[in-house]
Copies of this chain bind each other. A is one copy, B any other.
Amino acid sequence: MVYRNHSERYEFGLKKAFHYVKLLQNGNYSDEEEAVLLLALGEQVPFDLHRGMFIPTIENQGTDEQRAQWLPLAQNYRVIGAYAQTELGHGSNVQGIETVATYDKATQEFIIHSPTLTSRKWWPGCLGKTATHAIVIARLFLDGKDMGLQSFIVQIRSLIDHKPMPGVNVRDIGPKIGFNAIDNGDCSFHNVRIPRENMMMRYAKVLSDGTFVKPKSNKLVYLTMVQVRATLLKTLGERLAAASTITARFSAARLQGRKPSQEGEFQVLDYQNQQHALFPLIAITYASQFAGAAVVTMHDSALNSIKRGDDDFTARLAELHAVSSGLKAWISDKASEGIEICRRLCGGHGFSQSSSLGHLFAEIAGANTFEGTSDVLVQQHARYLLKVLAALPSSTESTTFLNTWKTYGDGNLRCQAQTSTDFGNFDLLLEAFRVRATRSLLTLAAEMKSTKNDSNFCMILMTHTSAAHTELMLLEAFVRGLEVLPSGAEKKALSDLCSLFGAWLITKSIGDFRQDEYFSSSQAQLVHKQLVHLLPIVRKNCVLLTDAWDFSDFELNSTIGGYSGDIYRAIVKRVDDEPLNQTEVAPGYEKYLKPLIRCNL
């Protein structure tokens, strides 16, 4: 794919998507097998949002009649759909959406219209050149009255010749950092009429006479959003895992720098700086996997709680939303930052597209924005924690530590570590993270009070508080994950990695732990010592720790990340494919080089 420009990649993406669909239609694959096959496509393809957003929206927000009408068509690709929410002018602030849907009682139709430049639908994947239909989020007007945002199915292109429908102006938004096999759309509507039945009416309804029926609880919709986020956490972890695997293998194979005393050169993996940069990323990946699993458990338990009609359902849902927000913000930040760190750790060869690290970065860099911008998510997380603090005691799992806030917040409390290895004690580590998260929240609460709840003056502290709580949750998830493992070499290796994770997190934010002398100056140095002590220990297992994720060479598609470690032969071989190398003399020679080199011949 790296040899192609956006148009070529889109066409190749369509080709892959088409054959994927044909494969599924002709075979009999389980959901798991389907997922593996999808991953093998190596990038997002145009039908992904049809499958991931268009169909689920109809499933979740459509009435039984709407599901019966649309799902068979969509599942058989007789219609191909997009999900059109984001506009040129509004993304994070969904309430700012400007597209309007006005009900016309006379004809029982909605009139979909884009009133301004900034109301153009912008970004929806698959909308630019592929989709025949889209779920369009628009502001509903009934008799001139604003009824808020609703979802409508709008036909975008003809089912006969694929030309845009009258009144629909649709095209591709052009090349992006990543996702260039996808046609993100730019679409505006000029008084496009759709039948009343095309509004998604499982919750809110518009009757034929224009009467608006308010929705009953739509908390299940809310839960779907969390499910999408849990999947994203998994994907983010997998991408960072892939980058770490490539980097661990490269670092073991690459020799650079003569050893001072003996013959030969160092493996790059032997350098302290390389270890200090790479090993925390491996730890983050494991921690994310444990935390992701914990979110799934939380989600399933909340779902059961709804089904049973438990009283604490609302509290569980709020926790789930807050926790997944904080995790998503933290992990998307660390995954994209981490992949870029990996690229640098592989030096020049990491800069070549054949390493695949550039591709991994490009596919993940947008995750800080899509499915919730980090700045918004950390605020939602922090506001939740403020609410819990204001209504203690808490009974939800992730915040029970706040019930001990008086102890943790007490300025006379001191960490008990005496030696560097004391920081390998998980109880001592977890206490330190609980103290830090508590104090961060208390500082935020005090600042909110003194600024009369003007959150814009407290955003830095909110971000800080969200990160402090998220890091506690990640460490807790890692420690809990270890507890259920059988004793043995694997558990020991992961346990060392978990210790390293804790020590590394502390050194990154040592100022927090030193607040009110909870850590002394010499304890700060002990943590550094512990971290340095653990690096050569984790070094012994680091390739195995990444091998354990079991990526195939096909999946990694990296010249420097192959299982065999034969990196140089792979790099040289890949160059055979470069189109520029198909002729001895470059096509530009005659026009741009010969006139200079042979100018007066």
- Chain A residues with CB under 8 Å of chain B are 2-8, 10-11, 14-15, 17-18, 21, 76-80, 86, 88-93, 95-96, 117-118, 120, 122-123, 128-130, 132, 159-164, 171-178, 183, 186, 255-258, 260, 265-266, 270-274, 276, 340, 343-344, 347-348, 350-354, 358, 365-366, 368-370, 373-375, 454, 456-460, 463, 507, 510-511, 514-517, 521, 524, 528, 532, 568-569, 571-572, 574-575, 577-581, 584-589, 591-599
Residues on B with beta carbons closer than 8 Å to the beta carbon of A574: 174
Give the 5 A-B residue pairs with the shortest CB-CB distance, closest first.
A510-B511, A18-B592, A272-B459, A129-B586, A77-B596
Pick from B160, B350, B578: contact of A172, CB below 8 A: B578
Each complex incorporates copies of this chain amounting to 2
Q: Contacts A3-B5, A5-B4; is A351 near B365 (CB within 8 Å)?
A: yes
* B271 with A375: CB separation less than 8 A: yes
Contact A172 B585 (CB under 8 A): no
Residue among B183, B344, B353, B515 making CB contact with A580, cutoff 8 Å: B183
A321 nearest CB across to chain B (Å): 19
- Given the complex of chains A and B, what is the CA–CA distance between A517 and B160 in angstroms? 76
* Chain B contacts for A575, CB-based, 8 A: 171-174, 186
| Given A15-B591, A456-B272, A515-B524, A175 and B118 contact (CB-CB distance below 8 Å) | no
Q: Is the CB of A175 within 8 A of B353?
A: yes
Smallest Cβ-Cβ distance to A88: which chain B residue: B568
| Minimal beta-carbon separation of A512 from chain B (angstroms) | 9
Q: Are B597 and A159 in contact (CB under 8 A)?
A: yes
Q: Give every chain B residue within 8 A of A90 (Cβ-Cβ).
A: 256
Known A88-B571, A171-B578, A186-B575; further 19 A-B contacts with Cβ < 8 A: A3-B174, A6-B578, A7-B579, A10-B580, A10-B588, A11-B586, A14-B592, A77-B596, A89-B255, A132-B597, A171-B580, A174-B577, A175-B352, A176-B351, A176-B352, A177-B352, A260-B454, A272-B456, A272-B459
Q: Which single member of B183, B266, B586 contacts A130 (CB below 8 Å)?
A: B586
B572 and A186 contact, CB distance less than 8 A: yes
CB of A196 to closest CB in B, whole Å: 25
A11 to B583, CA, bound (A): 14
14 A-B residue pairs with CB within 8 Å: A7-B578, A15-B588, A18-B596, A77-B596, A77-B597, A80-B593, A96-B265, A162-B593, A171-B578, A176-B358, A274-B375, A344-B374, A347-B369, A515-B524
Q: Report whether A595 and B18 are in contact in the complex, using a CB–CB cutoff of 8 Å.
A: yes
